[in-house]
Structure 1
Amino acid sequence: MFYETATNDHGLSHDPFKAIVAPRPIGWISTRARDGAVNLAPYSFFNAISDDPKLVMFASSGGAKDSASFAIESGEFVANLATEALAETMNRSSAPLPRGVSEFDTAGLTMAGCRLVAAPRVAESPAALECRVTEHFVPRRLGGGASSSLVVIGEVVGIHIDERILREGRIDMALAAPLSRLGYLDFAVTKSVFQMVRPKA
């Protein structure tokens, strides 16, 4: 089958786009606004985009939700690693709550202090990236019009790692069991890991 996205006339019961661009890491973003309000929410449009400097991005679909607004306002955010053990609590933190109601409380999670940013991290998560915002923008459509997303990019200034997931100087991905987003309502857990050596010229 083939269809043009301009009409999105695929004839399927659900849009397949996000199922094709999968798996996607989950950016479990925690932020603190200038007035002290704290927010925690998972974003499936999230990824690392550079190693030098270390940059990560998350995109808020449908405009500036609290995570993006707080990150832009404060200039900081934390990306917490979502894992199999935290799947249910991560999902609970996705509920749309009024500003001022903490997802940490409703999901039964513990706020832990960070070293270099004011935003808290998820104490139960085995890894977290402290980030400072470098830029934010609204991506454009082909015709030049604004999309419905807001992209926030942050430079990683500090990294927390629970040493229990370290083996021989590396993060053991089977131990960490990171959670990823597939299409529709589907998620996946990384448990089967294999290595491949990049071929030489």
Structure 2
Amino acid sequence: MNFDFSQLTSTDAFKLLSSVVVPRPIAWVVSQSPQGRLNAAPFSFFNVVSSDPPIVALGIGPRGGELKDTSRNILATGEFVINVASAGLAEQMNRTSVDYIADVNELTRAGLSTEPSLLVAPPRIAQSPAALECRVWQVLEAAPQRVIVLARVVAMYLCDEAILNPQRFHVDTPSLRLLGRMHGAGWYAHTNNLFQMVTPDADDDPAVRPAQGH
């Protein structure tokens, strides 16, 4: 069956996209209002889109026809922190997805604490094993009250236990036990069922481009 997205409602388009683009990494975003109020919320329309410069993309939809607190804070301050969601923090992450009023600190409600960031004003979640400090690079208005934030990663926190070789920047990714977002409401995936494939040896294939020097 083929689907013409111009003939679909946004709800139906979401159902299809979120069912096949999986697993999606979770951006557990901490933002801060100009008045200093903290907000935390998870988003799965997120990924790294460039390493040079280091750019991440974050899609934030509306809630009740208005900008979400996260969008409002990011647009006002230009800074935010993306924390990763590990398996041991699943319940706390899920708790911060609740639509609290703007004055409520989701971190407090979820029993989480914070640590200061290195370069940006919003803090990171202390219990999260890794965090990306971000500054807005560009904002696209995809639809009314729906924004796509392109942000430059200016600093990163990574727990010492996950660093295999700090000189070579080797990370023990499986040890982070990160969660991924799956299809439908409430479905998640663990990232510990892994396999590895070596790049095929194509030295004798004339159709393959020669290796480029660095």
Distance 2:133 2:120 in 1: 7
Instruction: Judge conservation of contact 1:173–1:190 (CA < 8 Å) in 2.
Output: no
Distance 1:157 1:148 in 2: 26
Which of residues 123, 128, 139 in structure 1 aligns to 2:126?
Answer: 123
| Number of aligned residues | 192
**Could you report, residue by residue, the CA deviation over 1:63-110 in whole angstroms, capped at 9, with x for unpaired residues?**
521111101111100000111111110000000011121011011100
Matched residue type, 1:56: V
Q: Which piece of structure 1 moves more, 178-187 or 58-67?
A: 58-67
For structure 1, the 5+ residue unaligned runs are: 140-145
Q: Residue 33 of structure 1: CA displacement?
A: 1.2
Which of residues 149, 152, 174 in structure 2 aligns to 1:152?
Answer: 149
Give the RMSD, CA atoms, in angstroms.
Answer: 2.0
Q: Residue 147 of structure 1: CA displacement?
A: 6.0
Give the alignment of 1:1-201 within 5 angstroms: 1-8=1-8, 15-62=15-62, 64-139=67-142, 146=143, 149-168=146-165, 170-185=170-185, 186-199=187-200, 200=202, 201=208
Q: Residue 138 of structure 1: CA displacement?
A: 1.0
Distance 2:138 2:91 in 1: 31
Q: Residue 184 of structure 1: CA displacement?
A: 0.2
Name the larger-Rg structure: 2
Q: Which residue does 1:143 correspond to in 2?
A: none
Instruction: Judge conservation of contact 1:173–1:191 (CA < 8 Å) in 2.
Output: no
Q: What TM-score do you get using the length of structure 1 for normalisation?
A: 0.88
* 2:174 aligned counterpart, secondary structure: helix
Q: Which piece of structure 1 moves more, 60-69 or 107-116?
A: 60-69
Percent identity (aligned)? 35
Q: Residue 153 of structure 1: CA displacement?
A: 1.4
Matched residue type, 2:17: F
Q: Which residue does 1:142 correspond to in 2?
A: none
* 2:50 aligned counterpart, secondary structure: strand
* 1:131–1:15 distance in 2 versus 1, CA, 3 Å: closer
